[in-house]
Structure 1
Amino acid sequence: MNFLELLKDSMPSLLDGLLVTVKISVVSLIFAVIIGLVFGIFTISKSKILKAIASVYIFIIRGTPLIVQALFLYFGVGQLLGIRFDPELAGIIVLSLNAGAYMAEIFRGGIMAVDPGQMEAARSLGFNYFKSMRKIILPQAIKVMIPSIINQFIVTIKDTSILTVISIRELTQSGQIIIAQNFKPFQMYAIIAVMYFILITALTIVSKYIERKLSYGNRS
């Protein structure tokens, strides 16, 4: 089997794996944004308890490898609770929690970048803390955070390849299954690398475009 034949025969399976990769990444990032928003606000809260909760969560997640987190949840927690996780569900949970810790720092940085006077002005108008955040602070902070959020999405896509350890049939796992059938690891991993490269390059271009648009908008 030459390279073109290998490419033709393997592409349907690889595209299915790529679809799983993108689906898990998108769903995980949505949950990660929610988690990051909550814990990002916790980190700047005046409550010592909320700050401590956020600090412990971020410290643990950022201080342990993603592969260990995946194995701990899928095998460790699964055995402890006597349940068998669906691999894709476990992958989404792990990626959401992992990316959420980094998103929390992105949100913290974005919120801190907004002039503190904005919050004071909102409070003077009678807005409570959460309404001030929702109406005044976050809309401004989001502009600062969008490039970082897209960058985290790129990182999350790369991280899905680690989920092969819990048998998720994403792009890398699909390639490994094909390799087990045709024993052509060099060609197959080259194809997989190119597919990741195309996807991530496209997202990087989008990120750079958005960053330029936001910078132009800020100057005007």
Structure 2
Amino acid sequence: MFNFDAVVPSIPYIFEGIGITLQIVIGATILGLVLGVLLALCKIGNVAPLRWFASFYTSIFRGTPLVLQLMLIYYAVPQVLDIKIDPIPAAIIAFGLNSGAYISEIIRAGINAVDKGQMEAAKALGIPYSKMMKDIILPQAMKNILPSLMNEFITLNKESAIVTVIGAMDIMRRAYVVGGSTFTYLEPLLIAGLIYYVMTLILSFLGRTLEKRMKRSD
């Protein structure tokens, strides 16, 4: 049933896609985290237009398929603006914008879970809002939402496989190329699946380790 003989020489080629995948995932995570914090602060703030914008933004990116957002950025934006976007930057932007919508909800829930008394005490002491959020509220919220953030990171790692539709040479795309050249698709796809699975296990382990360390620091 399985015949890996034709695929084995191409395994290093598939493994080279790990770097591309991590580049996309890490870049999108950083962008999504920064955007998520800003959107969350807008959602809990007192400026109505910013709240409406943040809610509308989240609704759009959570209500449409990620692959559609990716293809709009890679194909439609260059058409409208008459520019060229390479697959990797397009993927980072698309995944980052999408992830920011989900992370904003995670952070908003984490902020709301922090004891209200701490915010009231900070206000009573005259601590500026920005300093209160940066030094008191957000650090506690981050500890509470770390498992959810790691789940988002792991999900992003797996969903990154859809960049194959725009030609980015990630793990999945390389497995598909190997399948096309050897006329054997099952084996390279299984290898790609194993790579994603191992990466997910590693990320899960790192997340649990970080969570334990943060708990010990309380």
TM (normalized to structure 1)?
0.93
Shift of 1:105: 0.5
Instruction: Compare 114-123 and 93-102 and name the one that shifted more.
Output: 114-123
Shift of 1:216: 6.3
Shift of 1:193: 0.6
Shift of 1:209: 3.7
Corresponding position of 2:21 = 21
Q: Does the residue aligned with 2:20 lie in a helix, a strand or coil?
A: helix
Q: Does the residue aligned with 1:3 lie in a helix, a strand or coil?
A: coil
Q: C-alpha deviations, 1:146-204, integer Å up to 9, x for none?
A: 11111111011111111111111111011111111101101111111111011101212
Aligned AA (1:178): V
Q: C-alpha deviations, 1:29-67, integer Å up to 9, x for none?
A: 011100000001111111111110000100000000000
Corresponding position of 1:117 = 117
Aligned AA (1:170): D
Q: Are the equivalent residues in 1 in contact too, given 2:29–2:153 (CA < 8 A)? A: yes
Corresponding position of 2:7 = 6
Q: Does the residue aligned with 2:127 lie in a helix, a strand or coil?
A: coil
Corresponding position of 2:31 = 31
Alignment partners' CA distance in 2, 1:6 and 1:78: 37
Aligned AA (1:24): I
Q: Are the equivalent residues in 2 in contact too, given 1:147–1:210 (CA < 8 A)? A: no
Aligned AA (1:110): G
Corresponding position of 2:91 = 91
Shift of 1:206: 2.6
TM (normalized to structure 2)?
0.94
Instruction: Give the 5 Å matches for 1:169-208.
Output: 169-208=169-208
1:65 aligns with 2:75: no
Instruction: Give the 5 Å matches for 1:21-170.
Output: 21-170=21-170
Question: Cα RMSD (Å) of the superposition?
Answer: 1.7
Q: Which runs of 4+ in 1 moved over 6 A?
A: none
Shift of 1:210: 3.7
Q: Are the equivalent residues in 2 in contact too, given 1:122–1:132 (CA < 8 A)? A: yes
What is the percent sequence identity of the aligned residues? 35
Alignment partners' CA distance in 2, 1:208 and 1:187: 32
Shift of 1:2: 4.8
Q: Are the equivalent residues in 1 in contact too, given 2:78–2:84 (CA < 8 A)? A: yes
Shift of 1:212: 4.7
How many residues in Structure 1 have an aligned counterpart in Structure 2?
A: 217
Alignment partners' CA distance in 2, 1:130 and 1:14: 46
Q: Does the residue aligned with 2:56 lie in a helix, a strand or coil?
A: helix
Shift of 1:83: 1.4
Shift of 1:215: 5.4
Q: Does the residue aligned with 1:196 lie in a helix, a strand or coil?
A: helix
Alignment partners' CA distance in 2, 1:41 and 1:211: 24
Alignment partners' CA distance in 2, 1:124 and 1:10: 65
Shift of 1:11: 2.2
Shift of 1:4: 5.1
